[in-house]
């Protein structure tokens, strides 16, 4: 893919950092998947696993940042090497956030066990999570293969996630209006849906880093949110609409 550096230890440094990114990415993918499953299967043990895994994800982020700082200080990277270092710092931060959202989702599993079940909610949430997990997998593949085209496809898919989220938002609203006893459960479910939607934004940011890494340019168009309805209503309901 890329010629080797004359100084081999420089290549080793860069490979080590990227290996950590891939490892972190693998853990985060597993967390999304387990969090969604724990939810659907009402599996508290699986949820606990997600929580425990988050510590390893955080550790990897620290490791990656330390390594990136060392390379900046000691190797004075330029061009593709510089863009690689800038991108790993950003990508690791995105992965860490996605990990956090998964943990948050898993935490709500035990809470929701004590509440009345809402039709279809768990399976729609799992579908949404699955979609984000697939996007993440594609984004990481694009990253490792240095494939900006594939990254752009991921960026485009974020619209679908937003749309799915908007649909669920309306559904939860309907349930709450139909029967006030649904409110507590629906509020929790909505937080989860919102968190998954935010995960999608972080995946998109990773895909944008792939474009920057490979081309030196930022993806020009900022995507217009297709459906702003829930976003607008949201402001009054979700205390952390835009994080």
Partner 1 sequence: MLDTTVDNMIEEKPKIIARDVKVVYGDKEALRDVSLDVMDKTVTAFIGPSGCGKSTFLRCFNRMNDTIANCRVSGSLIYDGQEISAHDPVTLRARIGMVFQKPNPFPKSIYDNVAYGPRIHGLSKNKADLDGIVEKALRRGALWDEVKDRLHETGTGLSGGQQQRLCIARAIATEPEVLLMDEPCSALDPIATAQIEELINELKQSYSVVIVTHSMQQAARVSQKTAFFHLGNLVEYNDTGDIFTKPSDPRTESYITGRIG
Ramachandran class of 226: left when φ > 0, alpha when ψ lies in -120 to 50, beta otherwise = alpha
Q: Which of 89, 164 has the CB closer to partner 1? A: 89
Q: Which of 68, 122 has the CB closer to partner 1? A: 68
Binding status of residue 6 toward partner 1 by CB under 8 A: yes
Binding status of residue 200 toward partner 1 by CB under 8 A: no
Binding status of residue 1 toward partner 1 by CB under 8 A: no
Site residues for partner 1, 69-128, by CB under 8 A, read: 76-83
Angle between helices 229-237 and 148-178 (to 10 degrees): 60
CA–CA separation, 160 and 163 (whole Å): 5
On whether the CB atoms of residues 95 and 89 are closer than 8 A, the answer is no
Q: Which of 77, 99 has the CB closer to partner 1? A: 77
Q: Where does this chain touch partner 1 (CB under 8 A) — which range of 1-9, 89-97, 190-198, 235-243?
A: 1-9
> What is the total count of residues that contact partner 1 (CB under 8 A)?
18
Cβ of residue 78: shortest distance to partner 1, in angstroms? Answer: 5
Cβ of residue 83: shortest distance to partner 1, in angstroms? Answer: 7
Ramachandran class of 120: left when φ > 0, alpha when ψ lies in -120 to 50, beta otherwise = left
On whether the CB atoms of residues 125 and 194 are closer than 8 A, the answer is no
Of the residues 26, 119, 156, 216, which one makes contact with partner 1 according to CB under 8 A: 216
Q: Which of 69, 183 has the CB closer to partner 1? A: 69
CA 185 → CA 22, 36, 144, 172, distances in Å?
A: 36, 16, 40, 9
Q: Which of 23, 83 has the CB closer to partner 1? A: 83
On whether the CB atoms of residues 171 and 185 are closer than 8 A, the answer is no
Of the residues 4, 45, 221, 242, which one makes contact with partner 1 according to CB under 8 A: 4
Cβ of residue 208: shortest distance to partner 1, in angstroms? Answer: 16
Q: Where does this chain touch partner 1 (CB under 8 A) — which range of 2-10, 53-61, 95-103, 187-195?
A: 2-10
Binding status of residue 220 toward partner 1 by CB under 8 A: no
* Cα dihedral across residues 89, 64, 199, 137: positive or negative: positive
On whether the CB atoms of residues 30 and 51 are closer than 8 A, the answer is no
On whether the CB atoms of residues 95 and 24 are closer than 8 A, the answer is yes
Of the residues 10, 150, 163, 241, which one makes contact with partner 1 according to CB under 8 A: 10
DSSP letter at 119?
A: T
List interacting residues with partner 1 (CB under 8 A): 2-7, 10, 76-83, 215-217
């Amino acid at each position: 893919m890329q010629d080797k550096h004359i100084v081999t230890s420089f290549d080793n440094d860069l490979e080590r950092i990227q290996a950590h990114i891939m490892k972190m990415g693998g853990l985060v993918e597993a967390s999304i998947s387990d969090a969604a499953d724990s939810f659907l299967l009402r599996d508290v043990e699986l949820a606990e696993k997600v929580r425990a895994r988050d510590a390893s994800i955080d550790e990897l982020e620290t490791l990656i940042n330390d390594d990136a700082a060392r390379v900046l200080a000691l190797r004075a990277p330029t061009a593709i090497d510089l863009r690689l270092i800038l991108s790993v710092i950003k990508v690791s931060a995105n992965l860490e956030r996605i990990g956090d959202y998964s943990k948050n989702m898993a935490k709500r599993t035990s809470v929701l066990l004590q509440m009345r079940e809402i039709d279809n909610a768990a399976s729609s949430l799992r579908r949404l999570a699955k979609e984000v997990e697939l996007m993440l997998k594609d984004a990481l593949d694009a990253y490792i293969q240095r494939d900006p085209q594939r990254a752009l496809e991921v960026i485009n898919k974020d619209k679908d996630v937003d749309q799915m989220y908007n649909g669920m938002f309306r559904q939860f609203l309907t349930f709450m209006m139909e029967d006030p006893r649904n409110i507590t459960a629906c509020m929790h479910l909505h937080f989860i849906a919102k968190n998954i939607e935010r995960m999608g934004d972080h995946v998109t940011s990773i895909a944008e880093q792939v474009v920057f890494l490979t081309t030196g340019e930022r993806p020009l168009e900022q995507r217009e949110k297709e459906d702003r309805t829930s976003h607008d209503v949201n402001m009054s309901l979700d205390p952390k609409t835009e994080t």
